[in-house]
Structure 1
Amino acid sequence: MKQWAGADEKQNFRDFKEDFSLESFANCTGFNPIEIYAYCIGRCINNMENGVFLKYFLSYPIKYEKHQAEKIRESFERGLKKSLPRHVFGDEKTAKMFKVELRASEPCAYAISALKSYGFFKSEKLDKPVYYGVFDFGGGTTDFDFGKWEKSANPKFLYKMTHFSSGGDKYLGGENLLELLAFEAYAKNFQELKAKDIVIAKPNYDRIDTQRFGSFMQNSREACLNLQAIASTLRPFLEKLDANIIEAIEENEEFSIEGFEKDFKTMLFDRNGVETECDLKIDCKELLSLLKDKIDDGVANFFAGFSRVMAENIDDQCRAFHIFLGGNASRSVLVKQAFENAKEKQLKDYNQKTSKDDFTFILYEPLGTEASDKQILELIGEDVSNTPAYLKPTCKTGVAFGLLESRDKAKGIEMPSISANPVFKYDLGIEIEGKFHAKIHRDSLKPNEYQIFQTKEEWGGFDELEIRYSDKALANTNTLNIQDTQMISIALEEVEEVDVKVCCVDSKSIKVGLFKDGQLIYESEVEKL
């Protein structure tokens, strides 16, 4: 539902009976799944045993714009209202108490939980600002958030949270990685599966070669079920990896994972819908290498975002950067290994740039894990290992606990509000020697304010302009492979001796203008990226 709400596009679905279309969230006026979801939650929460609750706080994905987050709030408000007894709104005083409020972005809310759990609510830890980053590695996406935590100068508040920037990878998620592993397992066994006419669907990941298997790659029901069937069999491999198993795989030694076999039988569908038993062989070393590469890329993007934050926002007195791991997928040992490996290179690079030999990165375990409990005990001397689950934030429920902590109260938290202005989501650039070179950074683009893309000396007077774009943090480093970007061609008039400029219309749309002697002489149609 979050993906549908954030995409603002019409989508097709299939339920147990038939196919149906769902309007984009922005244009959804009839059937609204988020409203129904809120109604179901309300029915579970409000009953004769628990009583009736009238105040609700919502988090929202960091990449949502104000109108998207507000529509989610309105959908929840309508759904929750319908779940409550009618007499609640029959009393004017009680009706006024009902409230559904947007409080914080998801990584922001998780950061509050992590900061509290690891002792940063204590005054002795706030003699100087705490600079932090959240690596929220979930099932569908990975979100980054960078900010500052400090004492508030406002007497109404005790703490202040400042948001610097955000980013992420819209494909790097636990469930998406599982689909990618299933796709590679299909590739490993393609000749045998081809002989049985077994088809496969495209996994939800970028840079997938749609021609790899020709007509055997489909979007049919059978192909989707096959992808999920193989993914289900590989789930224990993804979720139960530990350091010993990883070492055994890399050294070609024997290992065992509960619920997983390297060679297994499974039932798959051919293109005609006939179910067939298939034997699959898994190359664990190849799959492990694929996992490590994707997670390493995600961590590299996180540190690219950090480098930009350091350059623009962090003062010279800062000697530590705190990294909080969030999301269920962050519990994987591969994530910690990726960060430990990347930290050394980042420290070396940062020390060379700033001459800060005493700078350090501090990595915090995902909340709710045994490793986190141990780290909390070491850092602040509190044993939380026996805390009841309903009182203890985890890497998943930390968002909810953070939301509660962010509520309006005496000596609370001075919070950033969701921006009313859309933040453009892509860096725009060109290809040079197989790498992406940014010409316009996403932060500099403002609605209807033109920025130079190519000067008249660079422009060849062509009838179209190719623009490469990327939402990855590495896009501003000139090291991102061009295959990891997307491209759009925009039709123009053939005019020489002009400056080519670009402006954004909203967070995902641009238009191009040709300027001669500072005057706009041609403007393209609005193009959505």
Structure 2
Amino acid sequence: MNNSFLLNEFVNRFNKEVKEEYKFKNIDEENFIFKCSYGEYDFKINDKGFLYINSDKLSLSDIEFKKNIFSKNIYYKNQKMKLSKEEFKYLEIILRNIFYLDSDDEMYEFFHSLSSREKKFKENYLLYLRDTLFKHSLDYVYVYKYVYALALSLNLEKNIVETLISKDLYKDDFLKNEDEYLYFLNDFLYFFILFNFTTPKSDLLGKLGEENKKILEYTFKKLYLKEFKNLDSLNKYISNKNQKKYLFARQIYLNILKRNELKNLGGVNMFGLGSKRDFIIEFKDGNDEKCRYAVSIDNDNKDRAYVVEYLSSLKNEKNPILIVGTDKFDFDKALLYKSEDLEPTEKDEIEREYPTIKKVLKDVKFKEEEFINFPKVSIFDITEKKILGFNEINREFLRDKGIWLNQGKRYFQLTLENILNYFQKNKAYDIDLSLYITRVGNKELEEKVKLDSNSINNRYEKNASNDFIINFSLDTDNLHKEYIEEFKDDKYLNVALEIEIYFESNLKKFKFLVPFDLKLKDAERYVGKDSVVIDFGTSSTCVAYSNSEMVTLENMDGKTKNKSRIFENPTNFMINNWNNFSEKWLREEFPNIIRMDYLGDSKGDFIQGHELKDGYTNKEILNATLDRIKLIPYAKLKLEKRLKVKATVDNEKEILLMTGNEEQENEESFKPIVAYAYLLGRNIMSPKKGSSTELKDEEIPVKFRMTVPTKFDREVKETIKQDIEKGLKLASPKNIRDLIKVEIGNEEPVAFVGAMIQEKKLRWGDKFAIFDFGGGTLDFAFGIYREADEDEKEEEEIESVLEIYNTDGDERGGAEYLINKLSYYVYRENKDTMLENKIPFIVPLDEKKVDFFDENLLSGKSTNAELNLKTFNEQITRKAFINDEEISSISMELKDIDNTTKVVDITVDKSLIKDSIRNHMDMIVDSFIEMMLRDIPEPYDNLKIFRAGNGSRSVILEEVFKNKLENHSKFSVAKIFFVDDPSQNGINPKTAVVLGEVNLRRNQADMKIVYRNKIEGKENETPFEFYVGRKDRQGSSDFEELLHKGSTEKEWKDYGLVSKEDKEKEIFYTNVMGVTDIKDSRLKYQRFTFSDEEMTESRRLWIRANSANKIEYTFSKKEPSKEVEGTIVELKR
């Protein structure tokens, strides 16, 4: 066709479709005939069809189009052109059409099934196709050339076609049946596929019946949009639908081959191709994963061959394939095809199998190299390994299960096995990694999109296995921002990524290409209805789903091998280097904190878990360890303590500990509960958790519920809730953070009862007593589980009532405190050795110091004293308490007062330890029995007593329990239980609280919980938390108890007379059961001063419990009535 005709047709038709400012103007100056302006650029076209920009002639090599999902730009001589979106759209069309005037794509080689039809039909068909394309495309030069080539493929003569192409459309309706219309639609769609144009939205399919519509949709989506080489699947599809469609199928197949051939030869992909050719060898590696070896060759001399160097080992790989553009050949057959001694018949056979191989490999030579073998490749997501110590996530999981979007950076590790030495010896290589997206959903990108990856490798490090390791990152926030619209109505989006490792030296240039699929999940669409329950413990924490399935926490440090502990995680935290940690913790939307591999690791930011609890200890580690973080809000809010910690490395700096929304973290302060909750959240929301299966792939939790200690009031509970909620939000994908809610659940002893109900240990009518001997605290709870009475059933519509009579306990009564005491007893028995070696130690609060010892040895202020206590605990007394081990003597390394390490021989009195344990157990069981008598009404034949807490595993405790209760005059009829199910979701001393809370939450619609130890109207406040008493009336030092923990009595208690002169009185109180003497160091007293007005009627002081740490008082000669309101005062905690 004549270029002048094509140019004029393009300009005229283009001007009819665009706004005035984008139209061509006719001019007559020198040889120029058209001009137009876009942005700051003026364009002119001369009568030969050459295009000029600002008076400079424009060639194809001057222009580069860069398009991806993010942006579309035109570059002129490597400079980005400043254009609006509209200007870009039209200028792109102008440039490609003007440059296409002189192209020759040999499209006349098409095959067409309508070539045997009559001449008039074919002419009408072509003109109808031309005008339909005009309605949907501004690429008029392409339309004319496409219709021209199609006309030749329909066996019309050139002179007829050149006359026909400019005619108007025939008026009569020439398409007589639906099959003819099917061919027409295929040719219409194929135009856009062939030239890589965006397929327009059209109602043209509406004229097809369902069968043909399905065939065309299958053709378009499954074949044209994918590389396709095998006719079998198409024939199979057609034969299942309609045997008569064979010729249509054959045409589609040849169309695809033609498109691929033109692409490979540079026919329809003009911009950016030049003389550069990519040769890729694809195969399955040792892990049966797809890999690619690539050579990109520039060839300025068209007469010179492309020399493709390939690794010799590739011939031995699994099913190697040579890829050039969109063509694929069996690599071994490609080598055979290019060999000099190939027989002509064999060559013909290969050409029949691969019709384009002759053209594609025409100027190609292969050269075999043996400098390295292609490595075995592995890719892992190591994000949770870096943060939590989890196992890596492999390629299969990433493809099938996927990761959450919008959850900050994820970290990956690429390993190329057994090639590191080569690159360490050959230092001239530049090595770089690039990460690309090549497919989004089912859409292959025309140009792969490069992503930021921040890679580092181990090239200059020693590696015993000779593996080349590259770590890189993937920003899921950017992926969410750019691709969330691609999800449409789906919950996830499958994308294809490609890692490109580029190796370049003066002698060699090659690439390893490692593709892998990734499933991106939009967390907002996976939000689950079930809640997660957290038992945030003083010494350890447990988590469970609302289906009673435990969350495995062992991999939060990955160190414990004790399967009985896999569901509990020590509630501790240690910062390694504060400057490094705080920079990441405070300044990133997703804290990029990295776990230490081991205690003493200088690279990590923090450590947490069993290794911190049980591992080796030095002064720096001890000072940096936070092991009672649950108590921080209570200590700050109720005891008004200013808490600080030091990091391991920069240990001169003191870091203030903060809590709650009212306090803000900065470079000087830190919220440990938030950090611990962040780790919990990363665990719960992890894509994969070690070998565990409990995480539901199809949902992500946003509702959480936490159990709380009895002694914490509403303010402390709310503060802990705020910190846990903040930590969980930090861990969650950003687009669901506002959905994360934490609810305050039941008190811990009550939650334990819920587990006993679930296990059918408690039935309606059963009374219960809970003896919870944990690591940190000793807690009691008493009550009854009963059927709702008729009024409750009718008025409240409930079935069950859990009635709590009282709760009690000792915050320093847990097993850890007993172990500390035992260690002190051993220290005291070896006092001469300790004094001689100047070994400092911690004296328990209610124990006397060793007589005549240097005050500095027992002051309790020394870090070395704490180190020595821990050494005694771990090497002697913990073993004796838990495992009943008998140790008679031992040599230990201890720190003296001058920080010198000394090896000291210790004698261990086995009977002392056993007797001490037994005496302690006697004391706490006696207190427990006394409280049962006080708080549980008779009869006791329906009483069930439960031992709980890890400390309850003690054999001695079991013996004491059995002897005292079986021989008790009233409680011998009671049944004693110790629930310890070792199975995965079984109830045991540690998991009972969290699983019990799950059960109570599940039954909350038909059960109510009543607290008899809380004053009416103050149910949300903490029960009264002290034992309050007075000095013996007869003047001895006996402590006379008047008020007890959990007291709700309205009756006033006579506290005695107040002096008229000084108007003062000492109130004695304690939070520890069993105090009998006012000289007991565990007893506190507070002096109150009263006014004359208060004492006008009488000097006799009356008191009663209020709530938490508050009492009421009044003055009266006789016992005041219950209705009298007194003055409320606080007892200092």
Would you say same fold, with TM above 0.5? Answer: yes
Change (3 A) 1:490 1:53: same
State the distance in 2 between where 1:133 and 1:169 align.
16
Alignment partner of 1:331 out of 953, 960, 963:
953
CA distance in 2, matches of 1:140, 1:410: 29
Pairwise mapping of residues 262-301 of structure 1 onto structure 2 (< 5 A)? 262-301=888-927
Letter in 2 for 1:364: F
Residue equivalent to 2:1055 = 454
- 1:238-283, Cα deviation, whole Å (9 max, x unpaired): 1112xxxxxxxxxxxxxxx3xx631000000111111110000011
The answer (yes or no) to whether the contact 2:1047–2:1105 under 8 Å persists in 1 is no
Q: Is the CA contact 1:167–1:472 (under 8 Å) kept in the aligned structure 2?
A: no
SS of equivalent to 1:407: helix
CA 501–44 in structure 1, closer or farther in 2 if over 3 Å, else same: same
**2:684: which partner in 1?**
45
Aligned to 2:633: 5
Which residue of 2 is the match for residue 137 of structure 1? 773
CA contact (8 A) 1:197 1:270 kept: yes
Deviations 1:180-223 (A, max 9, x none): 111111111111121111111223x4344487733311321111
Call closer, same or farther: CA 1:157–1:510 in 2, change over 3 Å. closer
CA–CA distance in structure 2, aligned partners of residues 195 and 293 of structure 1: 30
Please state if 1:217 is matched with 2:858. yes
The amino acid that maps onto 1:3 is L
- State the partner residue of 2:59: none
Residue 280 of structure 1 aligns with an amino acid whose one-letter code is I
Which residue number in structure 1 is paired with residue 1066 of structure 2? 466
**Secondary structure of the equivalent of 2:781?**
strand
The 5 Å alignment of 1:59-78 reads 59-78=707-726
Aligned to 1:426: 1026
Q: CA deviation at 1:80?
A: 0.8
For 1:249, the equivalent position in structure 2 comes to none
Rate the CA distance shift 1:502–1:53 in 2: closer, same or farther, 3 A.
same
Match of 2:1101 in 1: 500
- The reply to whether residue 184 of structure 1 matches residue 832 of structure 2 is no
- 1:41-89 deviations in Å (ceiling 9; x for gaps): 0011102234521121211112211222222222211211111101224
The answer as to 2:711 corresponding to 1:108 is: no
Specify the SS of the correspondent of 1:528: coil
Query: What residue is the counterpart of 1:379 in the other structure?
Result: none
Q: Distance in 1 between matches of 2:774 and 2:974?
A: 22
**Separation in 1, partners of 2:1022, 2:1039:** 24
Indicate the SS of the match to 1:13: strand
Task: Report if aligned partners of 1:321, 1:362 keep a CA contact under 8 Å in 2.
Answer: yes
Aligned CA-pair RMSD: 3.4
Tell me how far 1:443 sits from its aligned partner.
4.7
Whether 1:437 and 2:1072 are equivalent positions in the alignment is no
Question: For the residues of structure 2 that align with 1:501 and 1:26, how far apart are their CA atoms?
Answer: 40
Match of 1:395 in 2: 989
Secondary structure of 1:202's counterpart equals coil
Equivalent pairs, count: 459
1:366 aligns with 2:967: no
Cα distance in 2 for partners of 1:167, 1:37 equals 28
**Change in CA separation of 1:210 and 1:443 when aligned onto 2, cut-off 3 Å:** farther
Residue pairs, 1:118-129, within 5 angstroms: 118-120=760-762, 125-126=763-764, 129=765
User: 1 CA distance for matches of 2:1022 and 2:758?
Assistant: 31
1:486 correspondence with 2:1083? yes
Q: Which amino acid aligns with 2:707?
A: S
Q: Is the 8 A contact 1:113 1:402 kept in 2?
A: yes
Cα contact 1:445–1:451 (8 A) shared by 2:
no
Larger Rg: 2
Partners of 1:135 and 1:392 in 2: how far apart?
A: 19
The residue number in structure 2 matching 1:385 is none
1:401, 1:526 → 2: CA distance?
36
Cα distance between partner residues in 1 of 2:808 and 2:874: 30
Compared CA separation, residues 211 and 112, structure 1 to 2 (3 A): farther
Seen in structure 2, the aligned counterparts of structure 1 residues 431 and 335 have a Cα distance that, compared at 3 Å, is same
Scaled by the length of structure 1, what TM-score is found? Answer: 0.77
Question: What residue is the counterpart of 2:806 in the other structure?
Answer: 165
Structure 2: how far apart are the matches of 1:40 and 1:288?
Answer: 39
Aligned residue in 2 for 1:382? none
Deviations 1:492-528 (A, max 9, x none): 369795122446686225586666899x9x9898551
**Secondary structure, aligned partner of 2:780:** strand
Shift of 1:113: 1.1
Q: What whole-Å deviation, never above 9, does each CA across 1:319-363 have from its counterpart, x for those lacking one? A: 231111111110111111121222145x32x48xxxxxxx71211
Aligned CA distance change for structure 1 residues 344 and 226 (closer, same or farther; 3 Å): same
CA distance in 1, matches of 2:800, 2:1008: 6
Distance apart, 1:467 and its partner CA: 2.5
Change (3 A) 1:512 1:158: closer
In the aligned structure 1, how far is the partner of 2:828 from the partner of 2:1074?
Answer: 29
* Structure 1 residue 364 displacement after superposition: 0.1
Contact 1:168 1:301 (C-alpha < 8 Å) held by counterparts? no
The one-letter amino acid of 1:366's match is V
SS of 2:756 mapped into structure 1: helix
Structure 1 letter corresponding to 2:1025: K
Is the alpha carbon distance of 1:75 and 1:131 closer, same or farther for their aligned partners in structure 2, counting shifts above 3 Å? same
Distance in 1 of aligned mates of 2:805 and 2:721: 24
Name the amino acid aligned to 2:687.
M
Q: Which amino acid aligns with 2:987?
A: P
State the secondary structure of the residue aligned to 2:1024: coil
- SS of the counterpart of 1:364? strand
Q: Which amino acid aligns with 1:100?
A: V
Q: 1:404 to 1:74 in 2, by over 3 A?
A: same
Q: Which position in structure 2 is the counterpart of 1:355?
A: none
Alpha carbons 1:498, 1:515 under 8 Å: kept: yes
Q: CA deviation at 1:22?
A: 2.8
Q: 1:206 aligns with which of 836, 841, 846?
A: 846
Closer/same/farther in 2, CA of residues 166 and 445 from structure 1, 3 Å limit: closer
**How far is the alpha carbon of 1:296 from its aligned partner?**
1.4
Q: Give the partner amino acid of 1:136.
A: D
C-alpha contact 1:172 1:294 (8 A) present in aligned 2? no
Letter in 1 for 2:633: A
Give structure 2 stretches of 5+ with no counterpart: 1-628, 689-694
2:731 aligned residue? 83
| TM-score, L = length of structure 2 | 0.38
- Are the counterparts in 1 of residues 773 and 948 from structure 2 also a CA contact under 8 Å? yes
Contact 1:268 1:277 in 2 (8 A): yes
> Taking structure 1 as reference, are residues 119 and 286 closer, same or farther at Cα in structure 2, changes over 3 Å only?
closer
Q: Is the 8 A contact 2:1043 2:1105 kept in 1?
A: no
Instruction: For residues 379-409 of structure 1, give each alpha carbon's deviation from its aligned partner in whole angstroms, at most 9, with x where no partner exists.
Output: xxxxxxxxx41x2111101111111111145
AA at the equivalent of 1:327: G
Residue 430 to residue 368, structure 1, CA distance change in 2 (3 Å):
same
Match of 1:226, SS state, is helix
Instruction: Give the C-alpha shift of residue 110 in structure 1.
Output: 1.4
